[in-house]
Amino acid sequence: MDEDIIIERLTNTQVPSIAELHIEGITTGFISSLGDDFVSYLYQAIAQDKRSFYLVAVEDRKTIGFVTFTENLRKLLKTAVKNNGFKLALAIRSRMLRPSICMRIIQNIFYLNKTEKLNLPKVGLLSIITEHFY
């Protein structure tokens, strides 16, 4: 018989399993293409950011899903770079040699600028992943 599913706040100890779920669940995503270490550092930043909201679904002490939101994507990314910039850069250094990765990074920077110019909401769903559906 399955244990009850518990919903709790993201902790740093859950970051590796969250990163793994992200990469397995979003196989064609840009963030996933940047590797385990990068995704882990990014989720560490989300867990530490006061403007971000995150919930984790745990069943039988195993992380089975999560959802993350932010009040301000630009500020979240600035915080991530400020707190983990060196680690983030090291995590993607070999991937930066690929022109497609460089282009996607540039596109994402321009996207952030475009959202500000168009006065689009700063709040956003970052990710929602579940291991399985019921």
CA nearest neighbour of 42 among 32, 55, 51, 50:
32
Q: Give 88-110 pLDDT, tens digit per residue.
A: 888 888 777 778 877 777 776 66
* Domain 5-130 CATH (choose: 3.40.630, 1.25.40, 3.40.50, 3.40.190): 3.40.630
Residue 1 has pLDDT above 50, yes or no: no
Burial of 60 (0-12, 13-18, 19+ CB in 10 A): exposed
Q: Name the residue with higher pLDDT: 55 or 119.
A: 55
Q: How far apart are CA 104 and CA 99, in angstroms?
A: 9
Mean pLDDT (the chain, rounded): 82
28's CB contacts (< 8 A; 6+ apart) are none
Q: How far apart are CA 106 and CA 23, in angstroms?
A: 21
Q: Is the pTM of this model over 0.85?
A: no
Q: Name the residue with higher pLDDT: 116 or 8.
A: 8
Residue 69 has pLDDT above 60, yes or no: yes
